[in-house]
Every structure is written in structure tokens, then in C-alpha cells.
Amino acid sequence: MKKTIFVATALIFSTGALFSGSLNNYVDGVTFSIGQSKDKIDIYRLGLRKDFDSKWAESKVGYFSGYYELSANYWKWKDESNFGVALSPVFAYYLNFGDFKPYLEAGIGVSFWQKTHIKRRNMSTHFHFEDRVGVGARYKNFDFSFRYMHYSNAGIKNPNPGIDIFIGSISYKF
């Protein structure tokens, strides 16, 4: 497990650095997430985030914006495991309460997995969509969120059982 987390962390940071040699231009935060699927698969995620540079429909109440997230994902069930990487644009509506900003979020991204099986489940393909809806709050440089995530190949190949996940995250913005 420790080796996998180390490899995942190295992969995330080296991938971000490849974009231009200057990580600060493309990454403004890091994320750690932990959760579980509905059928007891343990989920661990390490991610790099970059906030959108714009806001839409800004008012006294709040505004729309979002972020990109590149993540390394580790799934564990008994003696089985799977490793994947994902990239997702996430859209959010942030409420204005000074330094405290609660929000709702949703996004659809893509992921690629090392194996096509976990917990005796045939996922059929290495490629999956990563769907999410969640709630969270930003306070100064910290972001706390709880979300529901779903992974499936959208019927590209059968069987397509999908995996449903509930996950909590903490992020730090540089």
C-alpha cells in the first residue's frame, strides 16, 4: 500500500511538471481523498487541481466556476487492488460568505485503469467515465468536500456494472 501511494504521488507530480516545466502555471492545489464503494471497495485518491480562471453569472449570492483535477486512484478489496488515473473538469456554484464559500459541484471526466476486474466484477474496459456530484466548502486555502462518484464505460462494452463511490476530500490551495 505504501509503495502504491508513493508511486501515485510521484506520477501526479511528474505529470503536472511535464506540462511546462513550471508546475505553478498549471497546478494551484493538491487533494487527498478517501472513501468506499457501495460494496465495500476501499478508495484512495491523490490529486492535483487547477481552478478555472473565470467566474460566470456572478452576483451578491455567488458565482459559477470550477476546477480541473488530475488524480491517481487506488482501489483495494481484500487481496485485490486496481490503480488508475483520471482527469476531470468540475463545475461548481460557490456561495459568497467572505472567506467561507460553500458550494455544489458536478463533473464528468475520463479515467484509465490498470485492470478490468475487481471484487469478482468484470468492468470490461480499462477506460471509464468518472461522474461526480458533491457538496463542499472552501475556507481560505482549504477545501473540504463530500461527493458521490460513479465509474463506468457508458455501455462501450458489456458487461458494464459500474462502481458507485462515496468519498471525502481535503484540498490545499497554494
Residues of the chain with pLDDT under 70: 1-24
pLDDT for 119 equals 86
* Domains in the chain: ranges and CATH: 2-173 (2.40.160.20)
pLDDT for 114 equals 96
Q: For residues 42 and 109, give the distance between their C-alpha atoms in angstroms, rounded to a whole number.
A: 21
Let me know if 99 is a catalytic residue.
no
pTM of the model: 0.84
Let me know if 152 is a catalytic residue.
yes
Select which of 28, 51, 126, 150 is catalytic. Answer: 150
pLDDT for 120 equals 82
Select which of 88, 152, 169, 171 is catalytic. Answer: 152
What's the N-to-C CA distance of the chain in angstroms? 27
**Per-residue pLDDT tens for 77-111?**
999 999 999 999 999 999 999 999 999 999 999 99
